[in-house]
Amino acid sequence: MSTDLARWQFATTSIYHFLFVPVTIGLSFLVALLQTTWYKNDNPTYKRLTKFFGTLLLINVAIGVVTGLVQEFEFGMNWSAYSREVGNIFGGPLAMEGLLAFFLESTFLGLWIFGWDRLSKKAHLTCIWLVAFATIISAAFIMAANSWMQHPVGYVLNAQHQPVLNNIFALFTSPEFLWSYVHVLLASLVTGSLVMLAVSAWQIRKKRDVDAFRRTATVSTIVLIPALILALFVGSELGVVEGTYQPMKIAAAEAQWNTCNSHCSFSALQIGGGTNDQNPTKILEIPSLLSLLATNHLNGQVQGINQLQAQYVKEYGPGNYVPNVFIQYWSMRVMAYLAAVMLLFSLWGAWLLRKHRLADSKWYLRIAPWAVAAPFLMNTAGWMLAENGRQPWIVQGLLKTVNGVSPNVTSAEIWISLIVFVLIYIVLGAADAFLMIHYGRKELGDGSDDEGGGTSGPPVDGSEYAHDSESDQSERVPALIY
């Protein structure tokens, strides 16, 4: 009972957290690009765009940062046995993330927000690049920690059969880490650029600053297309890597109950299926595609769930080693199919941009603001595929999820915390969505410092605040952060 509750809580809070993370990673890079363009060509349009999208970035960062705290606390609160057992390995990347990434991100974000007229143009530009850089370092540490749960490396078992770190570099060089890290970064670029594209399309459709927003539509499309193609490719390679280390995850994702020796077919859809139905009606079977996806060879072997279960019972003792097949099968397909649809959509946009007809394409402009839902669905599905597929393990092959929970935390306590988090997340999420839409629909500002690094808001009683200093010049404070 408390294991299920603790899992529900982790799933809820981490899925929620990861709605904001990829926007932060993707959008901070894109905002840095816009500001770099302004720095280089001194065209005020780019300053205005930097501030406009900077505001959206900050609205999003606020929640991304605080929800990350919940994740860090949760390991000790709900998963104390796990933390005790593997903290000497898993805790390392988290501590490094704090020291190397969080300090960098928060300090330079503060400097960027308040530094528009206090720093030189160059120093100020450096700040946003350091923020963008910090977000990707942060992701590296988290993905190293997560990859270690998927495919533990760099440890030995001590006399008490406890895993003990003996090679930190192994965590950052394992194929599981490399492929999943790149995959997450690409997914973040896809997310960030689709957010920018959605807002730009909406603004163009309303005929507001069409010239300016066509530029951001172009920038985001240029980033989006290669990021999507690479994400598909890297994701498929990640599938091969995980097929090696976590064959059960891949078998479940294909609802492949029995081993198929070569030219295994891929089912586009199925009716029925799930953990209790081994004979679903498969629709649109594509010959050999599964072998290709899972092994990179047309005649590759794909192990079946039943055979793997038997093998694991022999290896690890009695138990059920089959993850929820329904979640695996459909999360994989939601992710992959949406990515394919998004690729077609973005190619359509690229074609329109090339023909200079984007501003006139009513349908494209109408669909684009809705397309922004796709990356969030894809990201969520991707994480469900990765995390659900690892079950029943919390660390693949080393520690089972049921053995990771806090022994002394009661179900009632987890219920309380779950309800508290869900309620506050609903409130904060509503505020965030409201602000994102409000500011995404605002007219492009004039780029003045009133906007305070994109933290614009209505001036209160028309006054400004000055930062007195010993020198004879007054340095104006962006008035509107508060």
Partner 1 sequence: MHLSTLWFLIDGIFWIGFFILEGFDFGVGMLHSFVAKDDTERRIAVNSIGPLWDGNEVWLIVAGAVIFAAFPGWYATMFSTFYLALVVVLLALLIRGVAFEYQRKIDDPRWRATFTWFLTIGSALIPLLVGVAFGDMLHGLPIDKAHNYTGNFFGLLTLYGLYTGVTMLVMCLLMGATYLALKTTGDYHDRMLRLAGTIGWVAAVVVWGFVTWTHLGLGNGFIPNPLEVLAVLAVIAAAWLANVKSDGWAFAAAAIAIVGVVGSLLAELYPRVMVSTTSAAYNLTVANTASPSYTLKVMTVVAVIFFPVVLVYQGWSYHVFRARLSAPRSGGAVPPVDDSNSPAPDLAPGTSTAVGP
Residues from 106 through 165 that contact partner 1 (CB under 8 A): 106-111, 113-115, 117-119, 158, 164-165
Minimal distance in Å, beta carbon 142 to partner 1? 12
Which of 318, 407 has the CB closer to partner 1?
Answer: 407
Query: Pairing state of beta strands 399-400 and 163-165?
Result: unpaired
Q: How many CB atoms lie within 10 A of CB 446?
A: 11
3-class secondary-structure state, position 40: helix
* Binding of partner 1 by 233 (CB under 8 A): no
Q: For residue 36, give both structure tokens.
A: 């770099």
- Cβ pair 150, 176 in contact under 8 A: yes
Q: Does 444 bind partner 1 (CB under 8 A)?
A: no
Q: Give yes or no for residue 449 binding partner 1 (CB under 8 A).
A: yes
Of the pair 32, 113, the CB lying nearest partner 1 is at: 113
Query: Is residue 27 part of the contact set for partner 1 (CB under 8 A)?
Result: no
Residues 423, 418: Cα–Cα separation, whole Å = 9
Please compute, for residue 475, the number of CA atoms within 13 A of its CA located in the half-sphere on the CB side.
12
Contacts with 99 (C-beta within 8 Å, 6 or more apart), sequence order? none
Whole-number minimum distance, CB 159 to partner 1, in Å?
12
Stretch that binds partner 1, among 34-42, 359-367, 369-377, 431-439 (CB under 8 A): 431-439
Question: What's at 68, amino acid-wise?
Answer: G
Contacts (CB under 8 A) with partner 1, residues 167-196: 168
Q: Is 316 exposed, middle or buried (0-12, 13-18, 19+ CB in 10 A)?
A: middle
Binding span for partner 1 by CB under 8 A among 193-201, 317-325, 358-366, 411-419: 411-419
CA dihedral 414, 384, 272, 341 (to 10 degrees): 140
Which residue lies nearer to partner 1 by CB, 382 or 440? 440
Interacting span for partner 1 (CB under 8 A) from 94-102, 190-198, 295-303, 333-341:
94-102
Give the nearer residue to partner 1 in terms of CB position, either 13 or 361: 13
**424, 426, 430, 433: which one binds partner 1 (CB under 8 A):** 424
Task: Candidates 203-211, 235-243, 366-374, 463-471: pick the segment binding partner 1 (CB under 8 A).
Answer: 463-471
Range in contact with partner 1 (rule: CB under 8 A) among 35-43, 86-94, 347-355, 394-402: 86-94
Question: Binding of partner 1 at residue 416 (CB under 8 A)?
Answer: yes
CA distance 185 to 25: 8
Q: Is 274 in the site for partner 1 (CB under 8 A)?
A: no
CB 324 within 8 A of CB 388: yes
Angle at 443 between CA 450 and CA 48, to 5 degrees: 55
Out of 136, 350, 402, 435, which residue is the one contacting partner 1 (CB under 8 A)? 435
